[in-house]
Structure 1
Amino acid sequence: MAAVILPPELMRSREAERLTDEARRLLTFLVSLLPDLNPNEPRTCVRYKEAHDKLQLRQKGTTYGESLKKQGLAALADWTAATGKPAITGMIVDGTSLMPAKGYYKPFGRSVDDFEWWRDQLRRSKEFDWAPYLPFSIEGTPTPIATDIEEPAAQRVETRVYRVLRDTELALRVKKAHNYECQICGQTIVLKDGTRYAEAHHIRPLGRPHDGPDAQENILCLCPNHHVELDYGVRAIAREELRVVEGHNVGTKYLKYHNDHIAANGS
């Protein structure tokens, strides 16, 4: 019997399904750091504690490395090894030695002193297209720069990566609650495969200088048009205009912040 060759899109979809939620969240975080990674400069990697803190994980081990392993790191390493992806988990290093832990090399059958292989994996990670394996990204369709993105317009090539980072598990929960329908106009986008597409908007943006929280009360499910309008401060948000569903309450203080600090300034 001849072997069945799956189309690339289906193959990527099946590979993505093998990622656990924790591993996907960690992968999304690491991909967001790739623009600043220099494979020849370990100081540009992220430390175990920093990754643990950024992901707001609970301590589940005596060390941050052990805790990360239990919350996505081991699963992501096994997935990259099993699917032939670059060993992107090498971006996480010990704060003192600036090297990955010995366990990093094990899933790939490499010796713990194979530093050239490690650096090559970092280079491959920068060059690899991770978009098909990240949540809520549409290849070739970057989301406009939001108010909490500090990069200038000339850097828009990086925008999609940062937007993906903000599509957290909470954002997915909000989207599902609203059946991917915009809370302002009720519209959704149906993709070719029949799935629905919407965007999560943090009412008080996460980045500086706003420092909003990643909380359901601070998230709206929006169509791309209304997302852009709110990102750029084109419109204020009236609570009475928002479509509501059980289990998702929008915080009044976040709406007020948007109206006072973003819509009032137009950005």
Structure 2
Amino acid sequence: MEHNPKLRTVNVTRYITPLREGGSLPALADADDDFKYVLKFRGAGHGTKALIAELIGGEIARLLGLPVPELVFANLDEAFGRTEADEEIQDLLQASKGLNLALHYLQGAINFDPVVTTVDARLASQIVWLDAFITNVDRTFRNTNMLMWHKELWLIDHGASLYFHHSFTDPEGHAKSPFALIKDHVLLPQASELEQVDADFKALLTEQKIRSVVNLLPDTWLQWEGLEQSPDEVREVYVTFLVTRLNNSQTFVNQAQNARQALI
């Protein structure tokens, strides 16, 4: 079955408030479809690479059947934010005109707390597998990047994934390497079904599906300073990384299992 994911595009109509301190300064914002969004800015710390990781990580999670808020392209008009009183925020808005990325805001959601909520072995294994696959360094006890909403667990914030792209050299070498930081994953103690999940997810995640997600990346996000490759060539690097990593999944699965054995 063909898989052609599409992202809607909304126009940001109102900047409401910054969401937390930190490098990326995401914000709560209104859009012209009357929904609220968590807005991630292309003008923030890691630029469009954080948006690329967010989009690829989020849409692969969705492909695998994991609960992720809807992602949309969020257009910031040139005039937007000129009336913003805070100078740092005004600079961020000015540096972010054009296409940004936003997640549907889950009104009333609370941060996942592993002490309060136990995640079953299957779901825990699926999330650990995903994060080892996309090299997501940011789902730890300190910062779980999961929300409880209507008694369901939701995954947010994949912007720290795919960290190979900060150097953008030797994607195949990076793809074949284990993921040592999985030892800090908040759900690792419960992830006892990694072998079964690996088999299921490898059957589900084809090269064509990976390509369909990577093809969502807009050209304007792929024109980095000092980069000689065209946007299509950059997309090909991401596809190569992900397909190679999938074909060598046993490497990161073994690493996760060994790290789990050391914990329990």
Q: TM-score normalized by structure 2?
A: 0.29
The structure carrying a bigger strand percent of its residues is 2
Which of structures 1 and 2 has the bigger CA Rg?
A: 1
The structure carrying a bigger helix percent of its residues is 1
- Relative contact order higher in (CA < 8 Å, ≥ 6 apart): 2
